[in-house]
Structure 1
Amino acid sequence: MRKPSQDFIRDVLEKSHTVPVLVDFWAPWCGPCRILGPVLERLAARAAGRWELVKVNTEEEPELARQYEIYSIPDVRLFVGGQSVDGFVGALSEGQIEQWLQKAIPIPRSARYKEAERLFAEGKCKKAAELLAQERAAGVRDPDASLLYARAAICSNPKEALEALGPDAVSQDPQVAEAVRELGQALLSPSPSEEKADSRLSRDRQGWEALRDGRPEAALELWIGLLEEERNFREGELARICRALFQVLGWRHALTERFSRRFSAAVHV
């Protein structure tokens, strides 16, 4: 078998011992190749060196295409340690490629990210958001981290949290992302005025203040108490907000497990 070209040996086989290399086998006459190419280039730029992209024109390198059994293009191969270890054929969407990359090239988690996960699981959303904000300031744009930041920051900084919900973050969990949006829009909306003294409206307002202060436990305690008195409080809006908050926290979160039964009993009486 003919040896690969020196450029391929240097740029792919040798380079893949230090960083994963994605090889795009393409040709100028291939329509799907022209669609896929810019998507891969955009993702490579976003990866910021976590993996590298090499494009191989099969018209110019027919021997290389035969060696790697490229029968249909575009054909994308992932090289690690000098070997082809994974790949796909055809022009996938950007979201599909991102999901494939996350499995093929797992993103190393920093100590800050792991600590933020722990804090979020304990209900310390504000502290978790502060750590993840440091990750973002350092240029980290991991979709999982972006979604976790949006979930953690939605109470204390809803505007920035919603800005973090790019397509890559939304694709991680569309339902949770939608719950983040619903909660963020509610937090950014003006608070309803209290035309008369009403202890229920006062407790509702205190719940929003607690949530904005990063204390979801206090907010849920106040709101579910209100729903136990009037399940259709604010014409069902408060119940929708509670459901969105449970989704943002996660159904296995300690606060969700603690309050969800009381919530269900209150709204389904």
Structure 2
Amino acid sequence: MEMAKNSYEYVLKLKKRRQKDYGSEASWSSLESDVREFVRAKTKTEKERWLTKRNVPQARAIAAETNLPAGDNGWTHYVGQRLDLSPPQGSPTREERKEMQAAGVRNSQFEEFLKKNAAPREAVQAVEHVLEEWIRGRTDLMQELLATELSVNRSPVSREVFSRVLRSFTFPDHGAVNEARHGILSSQRDFSGTLQVPDWKHMFRPITAEHRITVIRSQSSNQLRDEVVAAFQFVHAPNDLVLLTVERRKTRWVVKDLTNVIVH
């Protein structure tokens, strides 16, 4: 509630600096009870219903962006929902042309970055093997692909906890997973349900038109230790950027760390 109030007051300050006449604004006291109702909505379904009731455009997509359990509508209701931020049809404005130009520069810089930091082909194949075993839920085979010393977000964990975190990412309702802290703090949550997909690569959101999974050499790599980092996002967990560190130990590649960063 404090964040909502401060945000609203900031918008009012911005309004005063604009030359356009927006008319009179509502007082915070007149909005407070309505905002509190939205804050108390604990699932994607409840958020969507609040937004729909007030005729907010893209209500389902907005609700899908939250890190909350799916609720009554079920997780499939929200998979693949993304906010439509595309410009209106017609000739692009000056600002839109600038943004299109900037996007082109960003894409070329990203491709250049990948070329300079490209991982060896054998490392990419090793990462893809790990990801396929992970997505298909072959936990018995995954054990051979884990390092002796493991960490989550760079904090040491046991093999049991690490395996539970891996399972949590394939659990369909990722909002429920987020509430359970990906199984790090509690072993009570059952993450036995996994997504069934014909092509495991379709489980990952495209980062660019060309890439679903980005694999680059780690900055700590040297001649004595080969290490790569894979970055990706799951389609059912759009707010989690996952970084998987994979290292070559003698003749095989093993996973040593999983780090997830919340992005909105």
TM-score w.r.t. the length of structure 1 is: 0.27
Higher relative contact order (CA 8 A, sep 6+): 2
TM-score of the superposed pair, with normalisation by structure 2: 0.28
Higher relative helix content: 1
Larger radius of gyration: 1
